Amino acid sequence: MCGIVGYVGTRQAQDVVVDGLRRLEYRGYDSAGIALVVDGDGDVRIAVAKKAGKLANLEKVIADTPLPASTTGIGHTRWATHGAPNDVNAHPHLGFGRRVALVHNGIIENFAELRERIEADSEQLGLVSETDTEVAAQLLELQLASDVDLTEAMQRVCGQLDGAFTLVAVDAHDPTRVVAARRNSPLVVGIGDGENFLGSDVAAFIEHTREALELGQDQVVTITADSVSITDFHGVPQEGRRYHVDWDLSAAEKEGHDWFMRKEIYEQPRAVADSLLGRRTAEGLLHLDEMRLSDQELRDIDKIIIIACGTSFYAGMVAKYAIEHWCRVPVEVELASEFRYRDPILDYSTLVVAISQSGETADTLQAIRHARTQRSKVLAICNTNGSTIPRESDAVIYTHAGPEIGVASTKGFLTQLVACYLLALYLAQVKGTRFGDEITQVVHELEAIPGHIESVLADDAVVLELAQSLVGATSVLFLGRHAGYPVALEGALKLKELAYLHAEGFAAGELKHGPIALIESGLPVFCVVPPRGRDQLHDKMLSGIQEVRARGARTICLAEEGDDKITPYADVLIRLPAVPVLLQPLVAVVPLQLFACELASLMGHDVDQPRNLAKSVTVE
């Protein structure tokens, strides 16, 4: 949720930290702050600046009252959990003697108990904010008073904390080091030359280095300008996994677009193509690089449960149609946040597929852990190398979307769909439920998708015009059937997230069972029309469209080229390339993403940082 940066080196830490925060701001933007260890002729102290609101507010504070020079610093951009998003609750938080400054992502669950303990001890330790973080800052400072260094203090404090956290701290008595810890919350190390970095993700330091170190669970890391050392919470030395980040700074910049989201929408042809690259052997067989499950293990699977949240959940819904159709294995799709609370029936023959763009979603992570305790194998579909979810899974299929920075997922979703199709086809190959030439045919159809998305994007004028005409709408409905149903749900979610409109997606067949009562004159209703190849589906959808139109709805139909049957019933017609029904979500969702982006933009909303949201939700 929150974004965290740490730096030690030879540059001005303020510049490095603020630049890092700018790239992490998508993780949370309720407030921002920075702390520097300042060595003024032997008088070492901590200088802090923090401000409610977006990073720009903090930058203004620093511009008006410059911080002293320093080469050691930490920073934070916040998504509020404990306490309102105001100046006082903004991070960093200081210890009672201003010796320690601390930033935090996550929730310290036993903070009330720790707070009581601190407040009972002495009035001098009085806490000024409503945050759980300040409690940890006070505990750190108490430990330092007992003559241990910041690394040991951090180890001891982490041993007292329950919950999920990334903590990053500096000590005024030691300007050479930054110390951090993680449990169930993201943190990576950036390895530089004569400088080192910490970040919630690699975007924090990608401008300076593409060498990164992945940390394990319950670890403390200490960085100085030329060293990185890792221990567990008991001080036992540990190793991190070093890796090279395969994208560069340009991927984390807007490159001429006014929103990251718009850039990411237009990047989708490439993202889909990249996610398909290298998946076939010279003999034409599918292979999945990081699939660490043997063919026998896959053959033994008799049930699949897909767990995910938000947009990733909708990718899972599409996957169900594909896997059941191609592999004849029953598939359940479940919201990760509900999964472990219903006592699901799991065993070694159940494959759990966890879909997560960020690889850090707490609800999904906890569901994975539950599944593994029940002896089920877990396969992650993930976009973020080095993140927790693939690390804690038995197998992974990485999507290759590149960094997704807009809070609303777009290319993340499309590449998840690609990974789901590949998984389904791979299972079909291993289980022998489809002939090789059928699988090859679908792979060819998938390989044609980037070109189809390009044609949808080239035809964006109708969507832009539509967005202009719908400024002022207060309610919008989305209808779909079969694989078009998750597309309808995703179209509605995008609109809620970005335009703050009442938007709902329905399975078109359900309309007459209740939702049709919502239809009134002029209500915009998007209708995702199945391809004509599936006549029954197509014609049933057509009936649904006629029913809402008869009651005054304004129908916006997404239908394949050449589908003339639909024309008389469409107030607005958005043409889609002709693709098989199972693959249609890859093209049908694109105009809906674009529509939400444009409408929100026209309404004056911040498309990349919608209110109340954060990119990755690392608290349950």
Name the site residues for ligand M6R (rule: CB under 6 A): 309-312, 356-358, 361, 364, 407-409, 497, 616-617
Give the residue with the Cβ less far from ligand M6R, 138 or 388: 388
> In the bound complex, what is the minimum distance in angstroms from residue 311's beta carbon to ligand M6R?
3
How far is it, in rounded angstroms, from Cα 77 to Cα 319? 35
Give the residue with the Cβ less far from ligand M6R, 315 or 430: 315
Residue 111 backbone dihedrals phi, psi, to 5 degrees: -65, -30
Give the residue with the Cβ less far from ligand M6R, 271 or 407: 407
For residue 26, CA distances in Å to 77, 80, 197, 493 come to: 9, 13, 19, 18
CB of 105 closer than 8 Å to CB of 77: no
Residue 198 backbone dihedrals phi, psi, to 5 degrees: -130, 145
Residues 583-599: b if buried by 16+ CB within 10 A, e if exposed: bbbbbbbbbbbbbbbbb
> In the bound complex, what is the minimum distance in angstroms from residue 61's beta carbon to ligand M6R?
29
How far is it, in rounded angstroms, from Cα 418 to Cα 275? 7
Give the residue with the Cβ less far from ligand M6R, 213 or 617: 617
Give the residue with the Cβ less far from ligand M6R, 144 or 617: 617
Residues 469-489: b if buried by 16+ CB within 10 A, e if exposed: ebeebeebbbbbbbbbbbbbb
> In the bound complex, what is the minimum distance in angstroms from residue 569's beta carbon to ligand M6R?
30
DSSP per position, 231-281:
EETTS-EE-PEEEE-S--GGGGS-TT-SSHHHHHHHTHHHHHHHHHTT-B-
CB of 527 closer than 8 Å to CB of 476: no
Tokens 């730096």 belong to: 7
How far is it, in rounded angstroms, from Cα 301 to Cα 349? 5
CB of 387 closer than 8 Å to CB of 199: no
In the bound state, the residue with its beta carbon closest to ligand M6R is 310
For residue 159, CA distances in Å to 104, 285, 289 come to: 16, 50, 38
Task: For residue 409, give the nearest of 81, 26, 32, 3 by alpha carbon.
Answer: 26
Give the residue with the Cβ less far from ligand M6R, 35 or 597: 597
Rg (CA), the chain: 26
> In the bound complex, what is the minimum distance in angstroms from residue 260's beta carbon to ligand M6R?
12
Catalytic residues: 2, 615
> In the bound complex, what is the minimum distance in angstroms from residue 350's beta carbon to ligand M6R?
21
Give the residue with the Cβ less far from ligand M6R, 408 or 588: 408
Give the residue with the Cβ less far from ligand M6R, 95 or 186: 186
Give the residue with the Cβ less far from ligand M6R, 178 or 408: 408
> In angstroms, how far is CA 455 from the centroid of its own chain?
27
Give the residue with the Cβ less far from ligand M6R, 222 or 593: 593
Strand, coil or helix: 574: strand
> In the bound complex, what is the minimum distance in angstroms from residue 617's beta carbon to ligand M6R?
5
How far is it, in rounded angstroms, from Cα 148 to Cα 142? 10
DSSP conformation class of 308: E
Q: What share of the chain is helix, strand, coil (3-state, %, to 5)?
A: 40, 25, 35
* Structure token pair of residue 295: 């063919």
> In the bound complex, what is the minimum distance in angstroms from residue 242's beta carbon to ligand M6R?
24
> In the bound complex, what is the minimum distance in angstroms from residue 91's beta carbon to ligand M6R?
22
CB of 54 closer than 8 Å to CB of 29: yes
> In the bound complex, what is the minimum distance in angstroms from residue 361's beta carbon to ligand M6R?
3
How far is it, in rounded angstroms, from Cα 228 to Cα 114? 30
Tokens 């389904």 belong to: 424
* Alpha helices for 393-502 (secondary structure H): 411-431, 436-447, 449-458, 461-469, 484-499
Strand, coil or helix: 211: strand
> In the bound complex, what is the minimum distance in angstroms from residue 496's beta carbon to ligand M6R?
10
